[in-house]
Structure 1
Amino acid sequence: MRIGFYSAMTGIPWGASEYLWSEAAQLLQRRGHTIGINFQRQWRCPAPLADLRSRGSNIFWRYGPIDQVRNKLTGELPWQKRHQQWLQKFSPDFFLISAGSHTDDVSIGSVAHQMGIPFATLVHSASTRNWIEGEALERYRQTYQHAQQCYFVSQENCDILEVHLAAALPQAQVVENPLKVSLTEPLPWPDSSQPWRLACVARLGCWQKGQDLILEVLKQPQWRDRAVEVTFWGQDHGNQRQLEDLITLYGLQSQVRFGGFSSPLDIWRHSHALLLPSRYEGMPMVTAEAMMCGRIAIVTNCGRNPEWVDEGDTGFLATPTVASLAEALERAWSCRHDWQAMGVLAAQRIRERYSPDPVTAFAEKLEG
Structure 2
Amino acid sequence: MKIAFISSVFGEPWAGSEELWYQSSLRCLERGDQVMASLFEMPCSCSQIENFQSHGGRVYWRKRFRNGRLHILKHRYLSAFRNVFNSKPDVVIISLGSLMDLTLYPDLLKELQETTARVILIFQFNSDCLIPDANARAMITSYCHRANHIIFVSEHNYLLAERQLAMKFNHVSVISNTVPYDKYEILAWPETNDTLEMACAARLVVQEKGHDILLESLAQPQWRSRDWRLNIFGSGCDEEYIRQLVNHFNLTDKAMFCGHVADSREIWKKNKIMVMASRAEGLSLASLEAMICGRVCVVTDVGGHNEVIADSQSGFLAEAPHPKYFGRALERAWSMKESLYDIGKSAHEAALRVFSEDSVSRIVSLIEKK
TM above 0.5:
yes
**C-alpha displacement at 1:131, in angstroms?**
3.0
Query: CA separation of 1:356/1:146 partners in 2, compared to 1, >3 Å: closer, same or farther?
Result: closer
Amino acid aligned to 1:53: Q
Name the residue aligned to 1:239: 238
8 Å Cα contact 1:110/1:143 also seen in 2: no
TM-score, normalized by length of structure 1?
A: 0.92
Q: Which amino acid aligns with 1:251?
A: N
Question: 1:87 Cα shift?
Answer: 4.7
CA distance in 2, matches of 1:269, 1:173: 34
Please say if residues 291 and 347 of structure 2, whose CA atoms lie closer than 8 Å, have aligned partners that are also in contact. yes
Distance of aligned partners of 1:295 and 1:51 in 2 relative to their CA distance in 1, 3 Å threshold: closer
Q: Which residue pairs with 2:258 in the alignment?
A: 259
- For 2:169, give the aligned amino acid: L
Task: Give the 3-state SS of the residue equivalent to 1:116 in structure 2.
Answer: coil
How many residues are aligned here? 364
Query: Post-superposition shift, 1:102?
Result: 2.4
Q: Which residue of 1 aligns with 2:60?
A: 60
Cα distance in 2, alignment partners of residues 254 and 241 from structure 1: 17
Structure-2-length-normalised TM-score: 0.91
Equivalent position of 2:127 in the other structure: 127
Say whether the 8 Å CA contact 1:95–1:120 is kept in structure 2: yes
Contact 1:7 1:39 in 2 (8 A): yes
Q: Structure 2 stretches of 5 or more lacking a match?
A: none
Q: Could you tell me which amino acid in structure 1 is paired with residue 268 of structure 2?
A: W
TM-superposed CA distance for 1:56, in Å, is 2.6
For the residues of structure 1 that align with 2:248 and 2:186, how far apart are their CA atoms? 38
Please report how far the alpha carbon of residue 110 of structure 1 lies from its aligned counterpart in structure 2 after TM superposition.
4.4
Provide the C-alpha distance between the structure 2 equivalents of 1:226 and 1:43, rounded to a whole number of angstroms. 42
Q: CA contact under 8 A between 1:5 and 1:38: conserved in structure 2?
A: yes
Query: Which residue is 1:333 aligned to?
Result: 334
Residue range with higher mean Cα deviation, 349-358 or 265-274: 349-358
Q: How much does 1:112 deviate?
A: 1.1
Taking structure 1 as reference, are residues 122 and 31 closer, same or farther at Cα in structure 2, changes over 3 Å only? Answer: same
* 2:344 is equivalent to residue 343 of structure 1: yes
Alpha-carbon distance between aligned partners in 2 of 1:113 and 1:83, rounded to the nearest angstrom: 15
Out of 85, 90, 93, the position equivalent to 1:93 is 90
Q: Which runs of 5+ in 1 are unaligned?
A: none
User: SS in structure 1 opposite 2:100?
Assistant: coil
State whether residues 9 and 104 of structure 1, in contact with CA within 8 Å, keep that contact through their aligned partners in structure 2.
no
For the structure 1 residues 48 and 175, does the alpha-carbon distance in structure 2 shift closer, same or farther, using more than 3 Å as the test? same
Q: Distance in 1 between matches of 2:45 and 2:87?
A: 20
Residue in 1 aligned with 2:79? Answer: 82
CA offsets, 1:20-73, max 9 Å, x none? 11111111011011112212233555332233233332322233216x68x939
1:72 alignment partner in structure 2: 70
How far, CA to CA, are the matches of 2:43 and 2:76 in structure 1?
20
Distance change (3 Å), C-alpha of 1:234 and 1:288: same
Q: Is the 8 A contact 1:183 1:292 kept in 2?
A: no
Q: CA RMSD in A?
A: 2.2
Instruction: State the Cα distance separating 1:307 from its structure 2 match.
Output: 1.4
Matches within 5 A, 1:1-368: 1-44=1-44, 46-65=46-65, 72=70, 77-79=74-76, 81-82=78-79, 85-105=82-102, 106-107=105-106, 108-235=108-235, 237-262=236-261, 263-318=263-318, 319-355=320-356, 357-368=358-369
User: Identity of aligned pairs, percent?
Assistant: 26
Alpha-carbon deviation of 1:83? 5.2
| Separation in structure 2 between the aligned mates of residue 154 and residue 39 of structure 1, nearest angstrom | 24
Q: 1:320 to 1:156 in 2, by over 3 A?
A: same
Moved more, 29-38 or 220-229: 29-38
Contact preservation (8 Å) 2:118, 2:148: yes
Amino acid at match of 1:77: K
Q: Report deviation, 1:260.
A: 0.9
Q: In structure 2, what is the Cα distance between the partners aligned to 1:88 and 1:277? A: 40
The alignment partner of 2:179 has SS state of coil
